[in-house]
Structure formats: C-alpha cells, structure tokens
Amino acid sequence: MKSTHQSLASATVAVLSGGCSSEREISLSSGAAVAAALRDAGDGRGPARVLEVEITASGAWRLAGEEQAAEEALARLPREVVFFLALHGGAGEDGTLQGLLAACGRRHTGSGVAASALCMTKSWTRAVLAQAGLAVAPGRTVDARAWDAHRERELAACRALSSTGLAVKPDRGGSSVATSVLESAAGLERAIEAVLAIGDRALVEARVLGSECTVGVLGGRAAARALTPVEIVPKAGRFFDYQEKYSAAGASEHCPPLSIDAATCARLRDLALRAHEAAGCCGYSRVDFIVPAAGGEPVVLEINTLPGMTARSLLPLAARDAGLSFRELCLAIVALALAGPEARP
C-alpha cells in the first residue's frame, strides 16, 4: 500500500470529459465533480496535480483554453499522466478512446478496449452473460436494413417476446436516451423508429416486472468487491428514464434497498461480480438488474464500464454506504489505474 500511496501523491491526473455522445452534458458534470474531488483537500492523500481536459463535440481536446487534435494534446501532456475517464457513451466509452490511450502507452481508469466495446453494445453483453449462466430477458435486435425490408416480420417477432410488455432501447446508447417501456405492443413501431432515427440498432426485450437495482463493483484482481445494491424507485407511472436519472425531482434511490431482502442483496452482489468478470471489466463497473416480482433469478440489464459520477449518480451512493466519501472513491479509482493491469480484476 505504501508504494501505491507514494505513486498517487506524486501523480498528475487529467480528467477527461465531454465528447460528442448524447450523454455529453452528463459527462461534463461528472468531470467537474471528479476534478473537484481529486484536488488537494489538505489531507495529503491526493494527486500532485489535477488537469481538466474537455473533449469538444467536434472531437478536439480543449486544454488550458486551447483546442487541438487529440494527438497534439497527448504530446503536450507528460508521459506519466494518468487519465481519469469521466466520459459516457460514444467514443469515450466504447473502446475507441481506450484504444488511443493504450496505443500511446498512457494509463487510464476503468476497463480496456475489449471490455469497453463489449459492454457498450447491449446485445453483445447479453450474449456473453447468457453464456456465463446469468439471466437476461428474452430479446432481439432490429437494424434499419431489416426494418425497411421486413417491417411486419420484425414487429411480429418482437411482439412474440412477451405478452406483459416490452422495453425498446438503443443497442449502444446510454442514459435511457430514446428508450421506451411499453405495457403492451401498442406503440412498438413508433418506439423502434425512435431508436433507428438516432442511427442505432433497436434492442427489444421482454419487459420484466419487478424492482430495479444496480450494483457497483470496485477493486483489483485480488480484492474485487461488489458494493451494496442500490434500489431505484421511479415516480409512479414512469420508468428510470433520462429525467428520472438526472432531475432533482426524479427517481428516489435507496442504499441499502427498501424492498429487497438480505439474501437477494447477497445474490445481486455475487451476480455483479460474475458479470464484471465475464465481461473482462477492470477497476470498477456498475451492473444493472431487475429483481422479478414473480420470483426467480435477477435479470441483468447491462454493465456500465464508466458509470456516472455526478451528485445524483448511483456508484457514489453505494460507495458512501461502504464508508467511502466521493473523494475517497475517486482516489481509489485512480490508485487502481496507477497500480496497473496486474491489480485489476
């Protein structure tokens, strides 16, 4: 632990946020919160220097008020900088940025190229988790080509997934952008078209009625741990959509959960660790579940390799229950990146 502490104390951390995805504004909020938390608090435990780097909507890197290409910005930054990735969605989370940093020999927080690409694509994640023995909802993807050529066939196949409702979401998007939860097949055609309109494939899944929970995973290979589950309770008649996630008047989140018993919480933590490992995630992640009201195994919805780090985010809430302040959580994530791949799960 001493060597890790010394590395952290002498480190320069560059917090990357922004990007061009639909989650850009949330990323900027995450980045500002992380940078503020990492800066010197007088406790002698933070990095030596914290830089803020905004990736603009056009893909330029803005450093100290100056915009330049990513390669130029990297050339200006010291080789020993560790990058804290506070990006959500798009090239910041799908492995593209991770690949650039790896190719340049730069250290960064979170998962590498393969796990980032896998978890960014929900249909790929579903396949890997199902193969690992975890429960996923019945589902299928619909792309623009199949939709244009065989719309009625695709609608029929999607309707056959469930008689109790459907969830329609972008296969690669996040923050519930363009996501619909339908109590019946009514509105299915419109929901699929809303996803295709943003240039993504539509993932259509059987709606699982129950309690939505999420579980954060934090730590290295030798000591990865799942945090206490967070139960998400949207306002009546809504699901956990963009407004429910980020509005001050949105969903309520409870850690520990209000309606999930201790045995189910323990099961969720075990499943989250299994999902994190099966997907090859590193450092930290957050795994989303539905606990079916009718009983049975919790159903995995998705894995977030760069979970939100805003005031309303769920990973910091779970960390607080484990005794970690927001600052301590950010420091722990940087320490894992500094420790290198051998310390990652």
pLDDT bucket at 67, cuts 50 / 70 / 90:
very high
* Claim to verify: residue 29 and residue 62 sit in the same structural domain: yes
- 228 and 328 belong to one structural domain: yes
Q: Do 214 and 197 fall into the same domain?
A: no
Strands (E), the chain: 12-18, 49-55, 61-63, 66-68, 82-85, 107-108, 139-142, 166-170, 180-182, 202-206, 210-218, 225-226, 230-233, 252-254, 284-292, 299-304
| Same domain? 201 vs 74 | no
Range of the domain at 166: 139-206
Instruction: Give the number of domains in the chain.
Output: 3
State the pLDDT confidence band at 280, using cuts at 50, 70 and 90: very high
Do 125 and 223 reside in the same domain of the chain? yes
**pLDDT reported for residue 2:** 41
Task: Name the domain boundary from 206, 225, 257.
Answer: 206
Q: How confident is the model over 234-243, as pLDDT tens digits? A: 776 554 444 5
Question: Same domain, yes or no, for 163 and 213?
Answer: no
Verify that 98 and 70 share a domain, yes or no.
yes
Q: Is the pLDDT of residue 8 over 80?
A: yes
Q: Read off the CATH number of the domain in which 66 is found.
A: 3.40.50.20
Shared-domain flag, residues 243 and 126:
yes
Which residues are catalytically annotated? Answer: 23, 175, 246, 286, 288, 302, 304, 308
Question: What confidence score (pLDDT) does residue 223 get?
Answer: 73
**Once rounded to an integer, what is the mean pLDDT over residues 39-52?**
89
Least confident of 56-60, 207-211, 232-236, 295-299: 232-236
> Within a 10 A sphere around the Cβ of 159, how many other Cβ atoms?
14
pLDDT digits (tens, 9 = 90+) for 114-134: 999 999 999 999 999 999 999
Percentage of residues of the chain with pLDDT beyond 90: 78
Averaging pLDDT over each range in 222-226, 250-254, 274-278, which range is the top one?
Answer: 274-278
* pLDDT for the residue 273: 96
Q: How far is CA 153 from the centre of its chain?
A: 33
Residue that finishes a domain, picked among 69, 91, 109: 109
Q: Which of 147, 211, 193, 204 is nearest to 171 (CA)?
A: 204
